[in-house]
Structure 1
Amino acid sequence: MDWGRAKNVLIYAFLLLNLVLGYQLWNDIREQADSNLDFTSLEDSTQMMMDEKGIKVLAQIPSETPELPKIAYRFVEGRRGGIVMDLPKPVDSKLIYTPRELTNALKDSLPDIANYRYDEAMDREGMFILHPLVEDKWPLFNIDLVLYYSNQKIISFMREDIEINSVSDEKEQRVLSASKALGNLIENFLPDGSVVKEIELGYYGQVFDSDAHLPVTPAWRFMLESGKEYYVQGISGDVISPNTEKSKE
């Protein structure tokens, strides 16, 4: 064996490996920086308030401000609530799913599962939470499809079937930016030491025991590490905290 040549090959291989690992590290750092909060999207006064109150934001601030309509929905069979039904066949489960994995796992047992989005931030012990989608994209936060699992099997589910309609006399309006909604929360509502772990745009409205159509509006949801939620209506800017069941302006 030509040991000199083999030694050179090994040296070149290690150099190439170091280049690949170095590029990967640089790329990871760049992606991490890109995914961090862009503080320049917040007002200077908001950034100062973050420092004063010790508030951290671990989620990227979305830049999208789409034009969305107000909608209305109704419970197809009236609001029943709390009716748990067994799956035709238990489905193998695991502790952490991606949205696509959960959809693929349940598509045979729940054929319309693709019309829902998995909400990992809302998971509870023994439960996976999903929400119906408006226009196949925006989650309707206040309506849940709950999947129950035990012994690594998804065994049952609970949901209330709804019908979603647009409000015909309402025009689409551009939603408030996430940075403005977050700024309002930081300066006026979030307690000291809050950590914002997730920001998402969807729809939110009060749930009433009624057969009538219930109006809902676009809203930004802000999830805290403490488990508390805040919703900022995307049109009016009103702030709702379901944990206290209060609407604030």
Structure 2
Amino acid sequence: MDWGRAKNVLIYAFLLLNMVLGYQLWNDLQEQADSNLDFTSLESNIQQTMDDKRIKVLAKIPTETPQLSKISYRLVEDEQDNKVIELEQPIDSKLIYTPRDLANALKTSIPEIGDYRYDEPASRAEEFILHPLVNGEWPLFKIELKLYSSNQKIVSYQRQMIEISSGDEDKAQRVLSASKALGNLIENFLPEGAVVTQIELGYYGEVFNSDAHLPAAPAWRFLLESGKEYYVQGISGDVISPNTEKTKE
């Protein structure tokens, strides 16, 4: 056996391992730095309130503040509206984690599936939740397409049939920043010990049995570890807690 050659191989192997470990350490430190940067986007008095109320924010605080306008939508009368429809051919539920494959697999049964986005935090073991997208980007919360699974296969679905009317681009306004919306929640609404696990921008719309056009405004959604959710209207800053069916200013 050529011990000299073997020694060189071991040295190169250790060097490669050190490079991999060094990159991993750098990546972890970078992520920690990014997290700290997000956290310091909150004002100092808000951070103090977090400490006093033992509130934790585990979600990354988004920095984007796009200009969005209000929209309207209406419920569409359809025989399949809100009815559970069985799929002719069950689909392997693991595709839910690859949206493009999911859309391709279900486009025959649900041609509009590509216009929806999977909502992982709102989904459960045998019920996957998707929301229609406004302008192909922003989820319309509270309006749902539900995929039901059994034995690791998607076997049926249920959805609310709607038609979205885009808002007036001339009236688009820059939305409230996520850090300001979160600060308002921390100071005035979140209970002691609350843990924020997700923050996402979309549209908030209520569901009524009406054929009239219903308004929907851009809103930040905050999900807590307890399952409770809060929405902060992106223009007015109003806080909505659907769990208690109250709107607060």
Q: How does the TM-score come out when normalised to structure 2?
A: 0.92
Helix, strand or coil at the partner of 1:143: coil
| Residue matched to 2:111 | 111
Q: Deviations over 1:215-244 (max 9, x none)?
A: 000000000010000000000000000000
1:222 aligns with 2:222: yes
| Residue matched to 1:15 | 15
Structure 1 residue 99: Cα displacement: 3.9
| Residue matched to 1:41 | 41
Structure 1 residue 113: Cα displacement: 1.1
Structure 1 residue 112: Cα displacement: 1.8
| Residue matched to 1:58 | 58
| Residue matched to 2:191 | 191
Q: Deviations over 1:65-90 (max 9, x none)?
A: 00001000001117986411011210
Residues 133 and 140 in structure 1, CA contact (< 8 A), matched pair in contact too: yes
Aligned identity (percent) is 73
| Residue matched to 1:83 | 83
* 5+ residue gaps, structure 2: none
User: Which amino acid is the alignment partner of residue 24 of structure 2?
Assistant: Q
The 1:79–1:186 alpha-carbon spacing in structure 2 relative to 1, beyond 3 Å, is: farther
| Residue matched to 1:247 | 247
Give RMSD over aligned pairs: 2.1
1:236 aligns with 2:241: no
Structure 1 residue 51: Cα displacement: 0.2
Deviation larger for 10-19 or 165-174: 165-174
Q: How many angstroms apart in 1 are the aligned matches of 2:158 and 2:140? A: 16
Matches within 5 A, 1:61-72: 61-72=61-72
The 1:32–1:164 alpha-carbon spacing in structure 2 relative to 1, beyond 3 Å, is: same
The 1:119–1:37 alpha-carbon spacing in structure 2 relative to 1, beyond 3 Å, is: farther
Residues 238 and 247 in structure 1, CA contact (< 8 A), matched pair in contact too: yes
* 5+ residue gaps, structure 1: none
Residues 69 and 168 in structure 2, CA contact (< 8 A), matched pair in contact too: no
Q: How many angstroms apart in 1 are the aligned matches of 2:235 and 2:38? A: 23
Structure 1 residue 13: Cα displacement: 2.1
Q: Deviations over 1:130-184 (max 9, x none)?
A: 0000000000001000000011110000012211113449700110000000000
Q: How many angstroms apart in 2 are the aligned matches of 1:96 and 1:227? A: 21
Structure 1 residue 94: Cα displacement: 3.4
Q: How does the TM-score come out when normalised to structure 1?
A: 0.92
| Residue matched to 2:159 | 159
| Residue matched to 1:211 | 211
Residues 93 and 149 in structure 1, CA contact (< 8 A), matched pair in contact too: yes
Helix, strand or coil at the partner of 2:7: helix
Residues 75 and 160 in structure 1, CA contact (< 8 A), matched pair in contact too: yes
Structure 1 residue 33: Cα displacement: 3.5
Structure 1 residue 197: Cα displacement: 0.2
Matches within 5 A, 1:171-182: 171-182=171-182
Residues 95 and 102 in structure 2, CA contact (< 8 A), matched pair in contact too: no
Q: How many angstroms apart in 2 are the aligned matches of 1:44 and 1:147? A: 43
Structure 1 residue 191: Cα displacement: 0.3
Structure 1 residue 36: Cα displacement: 5.4
Structure 1 residue 105: Cα displacement: 4.2
Residues 79 and 160 in structure 1, CA contact (< 8 A), matched pair in contact too: no
